[in-house]
Amino acid sequence: MRTSADARTASTVIGEEFADLLAAAQGGSEAAFSRLWRNANPALLRYLRVIAPGADEDIAAETWVHVVRGLASFRGDEQAWRAWLFTTARRRAIDLARHRSRRPETALDYATVAQLPSSADSAEAAMENLSTAAAIALLAGLPRLQAEVILLRVVAGLDTESVARMLRKSPGAVRVAAHRGLRRLAQITADAGVTL
Amino acid sequence: MPNIPQPQRQDEPVVTDADLAALLAGTTDAAPGLRPVADVLAALTAEPTGMELAGEAGALAEFRRQAGAQVPAQRPRRSSGLRSRFGVKVGASVTAVAVVLGGGAVAAFANVLPAPIQRLAHEAIGAPIPPARHHSPSHSRTAAPGRSGVHGKPPARGGPGASRQARPHATPTPAAHGNPQSQGKKGNPPGKGNGKGGQGQGNSQGQGNSQGHHGSGQGQGNSQGKGNGQGQQGKAPHGPAQQGNPHKKGPHGSAQANGRPAGHPRRSVHPRPVMDP
């Protein structure tokens, strides 16, 4: 029987094909790079929506520019590839947070919701994203470290050691933070009767 | 404050760390109490939406731009950079070496280097010999070689190595010797001698060799003796020709009186008798 967790693993990890894809992308194959991008970008955006809400798409775009520039010199397996990608995104998010703290932006209070740009399929996209958006909102309610550890473990597909290196924590601290976050998430869903 | 354990709620399933680890690993079915959490995690990893893939065109454009820029441009840029850096380094090194050697040579010929270095320069490139140090104030360091008169010892050539040092410079040149006959054809006025005799300076080293043992200067005696010899070839009267008498400066100045190559040490010790016209 194939569980939801198995489906999650299958959707986030490329697997044995990764080495060939990476080599082809480093050789200039757009198709290979497109495959890598389509595999990683949704997870990247979901991670950034929690740690840098409102700037997720900009940071993701900057991250890919950085990755494309360093793609030819990258060496490593899929785990290292994802660690590099999410580490780059995390650093961009931290830089943006520092920049915003130095230069606070003024709110566009003169622009109403009706004046904001919209597309014809906005409602459809909202319905499509509902469950994912709700899950991200639940994660965003957790303490920052717990939410980030769960996202990196589940969404990015990184192991405990990679997350520990990325967050500069010990593997034990990462494990404890993940368990606490999951327990808290279980408590929240049980108390609120959340159904996705 | 005592740690009072909270009673377990009846409807709350027990969640162990192993269950959480399995949930994170995504390899086993979730425990009954973690099913809502498993659904949340599954929603986090759901299939990508159209909005999440909307930036693919921009990423591909950046990839295309980088891929086009990387392949042809990187290697030549690196090699040319290395070449230019290497050229700059070589040029700077050559310039530095040239400046150091040139400055050292100038300093050596100006005789301003310290005595040991000056002596090395003398042996290597023929720079002037360093002056000898005298503790007596009357024989100061500024006394030029060959001008010290009777007491002026040639600093190095008066020593044991004098003959060896004088030898390379003893080869006469035509300009230094002068042609005795041509000098005579000029018809120098009698009584004046040949003033040009003083220009025959190329033989100063050979002269120095012979004079060094006698404690007299080098260059002066040689030029004086040269003038004397030319006066004789020009049939000048004996008296005025003695204006350039080398005896004024050195005892062996007469060795040049014959118009012989002044640097010839063998001839210099056998002067010809002066012919009376």
Tally Cβ neighbours within 10 Å of residue B149: 13
Q: What pTM, to 2 d.p., does this model score? A: 0.50
Residues B106, B193 within the same domain: no
Residues B256, B189 within the same domain: yes
Provide the number of structural domains found in chain A: 2
**Which residues of A are less than 8 Å from B33 in CB distance?**
186, 190
Question: Which ipTM was obtained for this model?
Answer: 0.79
Residue A30 lies in a domain: yes
pLDDT in tens, chain A (196 residues): 444 444 454 457 788 899 999 999 999 999 999 999 999 999 999 999 999 998 999 999 999 999 999 999 999 999 999 999 999 999 999 998 888 887 766 554 444 444 444 444 545 554 445 588 889 999 999 999 999 999 999 999 999 999 999 999 999 999 999 999 999 998 888 887 655 5
Q: Is B137 on the interface with A (CB under 8 A)?
A: no
Q: Do B225 and B256 touch, CB atoms closer than 8 A?
A: yes
Residue A119 lies in a domain: no
Domain termination residue (choose one: A105, A134, A164): A105
User: Which structure tokens are listed for A34?
Assistant: 């497109």
Residues A134, A100 within the same domain: no
* Site of tokens 């397996």: A77
Residue B49 lies in a domain: no
Q: What is the pLDDT of residue A67?
A: 95
Confidence bin at B12 (pLDDT 50/70/90) = low
Residue A117 lies in a domain: no
Residues B168, B215 within the same domain: yes
Q: Which domain holds residue B232?
A: 162-268
Residues B167, B254 within the same domain: yes
Confidence bin at B148 (pLDDT 50/70/90) = very low
Q: What CATH number did the domain enclosing A154 receive?
A: 1.10.10.10
Residues A69, A156 within the same domain: no
More confident position, B118 or A7: B118
Q: Which domain holds residue A4?
A: 1-105
Provide the number of structural domains found in chain B: 2
Residues B166, B263 within the same domain: yes
**Which residues of A are less than 8 Å from B28 in CB distance?**
3, 5
pLDDT over 50 at B94, yes or no: yes
Q: What is the pLDDT of residue B81?
A: 54
Residues A87, A132 within the same domain: no
Residues A9, A68 within the same domain: yes
CB contact under 8 A, B53 and A8: no
**Any idea of the CA torsion for B227, B230, B235, B240, to the nearest 10 degrees?**
0
Q: What is the pLDDT of residue B76?
A: 47
Give the mean pLDDT of B185-209: 40
Q: What is the pLDDT of residue A104?
A: 64
**Which residues of B are less than 8 Å from A178 in CB distance?**
20, 24
**Which residues of A are less than 8 Å from B15 in CB distance?**
182-183, 186
Backbone angles phi, psi at B199, to 5 degrees: -85, -15
Q: Do B193 and B256 touch, CB atoms closer than 8 A?
A: no
- Dmax of chain A from CA atoms? 54
CB contact under 8 A, A8 and B58: no
More confident position, A37 or B188: A37
The nearest CA of chain B is from the CA of A61 a distance in Å of: 7
Q: What is the pLDDT of residue A33?
A: 95
Residue A55 lies in a domain: yes
Q: What is the pLDDT of residue B28?
A: 59
Residue A111 lies in a domain: no
Residues 6+ apart with CB under 8 A from A185: A138, A139, A142, A150, B37, B40
Tally Cβ neighbours within 10 Å of residue A139: 26
Quick one: which of B230, B252, B253, B255 has its CA closest to B241? B230
pLDDT over 70 at B212, yes or no: no
Give the mean pLDDT of B155-184: 40
CB contact under 8 A, A5 and B27: yes
Q: What is the pLDDT of residue B145?
A: 43
Question: Long-range contact list for A57-66, CB < 8 A, 24+ apart?
Answer: A57/B55, A58/A96, A59/A89, A59/A92, A59/A93, A59/A96, A60/A89, A60/B55, A61/B55, A61/B58, A61/B59, A62/A92, A63/A88, A63/A89, A63/A92, A64/A37, A64/B55, A64/B59, A64/B62, A65/B62, A66/A92
**Which residues of A are less than 8 Å from B49 in CB distance?**
42, 125, 128-129, 132
Q: What is the pLDDT of residue A51?
A: 93
Quick one: which of B37, B20, B24 has its CA closest to A192? B37
The continuous run of DSSP H or E covering A34 comes out as helix A30-51
Residue B9 lies in a domain: no
Residues B186, B263 within the same domain: yes
Nearest CB neighbour to B55, from listed A61, A134, A151: A61
Residue B7 lies in a domain: no
Q: What is the pLDDT of residue A84?
A: 96
Residues A100, A183 within the same domain: no
Give the mean pLDDT of B216-244: 40
The continuous run of DSSP H or E covering A47 comes out as helix A30-51
Angstrom CA distances, B194 to B74, B188, B251, stand at: 77, 6, 21
Residues A149, A181 within the same domain: yes
CB contact under 8 A, B67 and A125: no
Residues A93, A138 within the same domain: no
